[in-house]
Amino acid sequence: MTTLTTTPRSDGFSMPAEWAPHSKAWMVWPERPDNWRLGGKPAQAAFSAVAKAIAEFEPVTVCVSAGQFENARARLDHRNIRLVEISTDDAWVRDTGPTFVSNSGGEVRGVDWTFNAWGGFEGGLYWPWQRDDQVARKILEIEGCKRYRTEGFVLEGGSIHVDGEGTLITTEECLLNHNRNPHLNREQIEKILDEHLAIDKVIWLPDGLFNDETDGHVDNFCCYVKPGEVLLAWTDDQTDPNYPRCQAAMRVLESQRDARGRQIVVHKMPIPGPLHATQEECAGVDLSAGSQERDPSIRLAGSYVNFLIVNGGIIAPKFDDPKDAEAQAILQALFPQHRVVMVPGREILLGGGNIHCITQQQPAAYLSGTLMYELSAGACVV
């Protein structure tokens, strides 16, 4: 595998929007007992349901440890799901996998950001994280994709969303957090995003959702639904700690234009709950020094915005909540060309994220409007 010393922007590569065609989606099999209750068994059922839902629309590759291969293979019984053996620390491929970039010549490459488990030794969620930091490189190796490595620049894929037309949204709570890149200021971070994703404009929301243990990843709070239009998690309840966060985000979105000069249209998505883990759910998580505290008093950062766009479909979480039906209707109205599939998201939420966080799309390569994989079986045009 080649690691390049140039940047994607200088080589003519950019990050496509999530709705651009994919060649596949990636996932990692959960098993970490100090994050997933009951040795990961309920989470494995939840991840299997997500993988199978995606596999109805596009191929899925699931990374799995040697010890779990047999079990995962048996549970992921779908013709469109491939397993590869990769060692990981946990199962959040949105954050540990590569951010894929593509060019007009039909090539796909990957950005391998430095990963520090959402904050390293200042509020990070576990240690060690070295195997997770190697996930992007291993995926790029398997795919035969060239790699850009941002050694020393920490970023997780869940902390950014792009429109594919030069605009990126993120949160100050995460990207300006002192536990990510304390040596860089806002302008320096914007420059790195520009160089690696071909971004002309960064929209900085102040915060993400309340109690999001990632320090406010945008993918749990606000996402693009098309260029110039975003979907924002929303509450009108002034007593909800999310209320000032939603208001602040709305003020920013209403006051900014995107890279193409468009005023941004904001759609609202209700927040489920408030959701809390039960005593029984918390008791099922192994106690281990340095891992996340689990307690029924802690509000879970549940969000319907944490969905994945796949080829022809939307895979979104449901929570057995009265707002589930409204969330599905909102998504279906925003994506009339896609089939919205709601999959149980509670077990994934108990681990600290949701469907977008546990998946990573790999874009299909285009050459002059033709899907490259129709033309070639060569490396990295899959």
374: three-class secondary structure by DSSP:
helix
The nearest distance, CB 25 to ligand KQY, in angstroms, is: 15
DSSP state of 157: G
Q: Which two tokens stand for residue 50?
A: 């997500």
* 97 part of the interface to ligand KQY, by CB under 6 A: no
Q: Which two tokens stand for residue 166?
A: 């030069």
Residues 23-42 that bind ligand KQY (CB under 6 A): 35
For the chain, strand residue ranges (E) read 3-4, 22-28, 60-64, 81-85, 99-102, 108-114, 147-154, 161-162, 167-171, 201-205, 222-226, 229-234, 265-270, 308-310, 313-318, 339-344, 360-363, 366-367, 370-371
Q: Is residue 220 a contact partner of residue 303, using CB atoms and an 8 Å limit?
A: yes
**Residues annotated catalytic, as ranges:** 357
Alpha carbon distance 363, 97 (integer Å) = 13
* 292 part of the interface to ligand KQY, by CB under 6 A: yes
Nearest partner of 230 among 240, 241, 222, 220, judged by Cα: 222
Q: Which span (37-45, 162-170, 185-193, 211-219) binds ligand KQY, by CB under 6 A?
A: 211-219
> Is residue 272 classed exposed, middle or buried when 0-12, 13-18 and 19+ CB atoms within 10 A define those classes?
buried
Closer to ligand KQY by Cβ: residue 52 or 217: 217
Q: Which two tokens stand for residue 22?
A: 């994919």
The one among 134, 214, 311, 362 contacting ligand KQY by CB under 6 A: 214
Closer to ligand KQY by Cβ: residue 313 or 351: 351
For 206-331, strand residue ranges (E) read 222-226, 229-234, 265-270, 308-310, 313-318
The one among 351, 355, 362, 382 contacting ligand KQY by CB under 6 A: 351
Alpha carbon distance 186, 232 (integer Å) = 23
Q: What is the pattern of x (binds ligand KQY, CB under 6 A) and - over residues 151-190?
A: -------x--------------------------------
The one among 194, 213, 215, 321 contacting ligand KQY by CB under 6 A: 213
* 95 part of the interface to ligand KQY, by CB under 6 A: yes
* 196 part of the interface to ligand KQY, by CB under 6 A: no
The nearest distance, CB 293 to ligand KQY, in angstroms, is: 11
Q: Which span (133-141, 276-284, 330-338, 352-360) binds ligand KQY, by CB under 6 A?
A: 352-360
The one among 16, 42, 164, 352 contacting ligand KQY by CB under 6 A: 352
Alpha carbon distance 365, 369 (integer Å) = 9
The nearest distance, CB 292 to ligand KQY, in angstroms, is: 5
The pairing of strands 108-114 and 99-102 is antiparallel
Closer to ligand KQY by Cβ: residue 313 or 353: 353
* 317 part of the interface to ligand KQY, by CB under 6 A: no
Q: Which span (16-24, 194-202, 210-218, 361-369) binds ligand KQY, by CB under 6 A?
A: 210-218
**Contact footprint for ligand KQY (CB under 6 A):** 35, 92, 94-95, 125, 158, 213-214, 217, 292, 351-353, 357
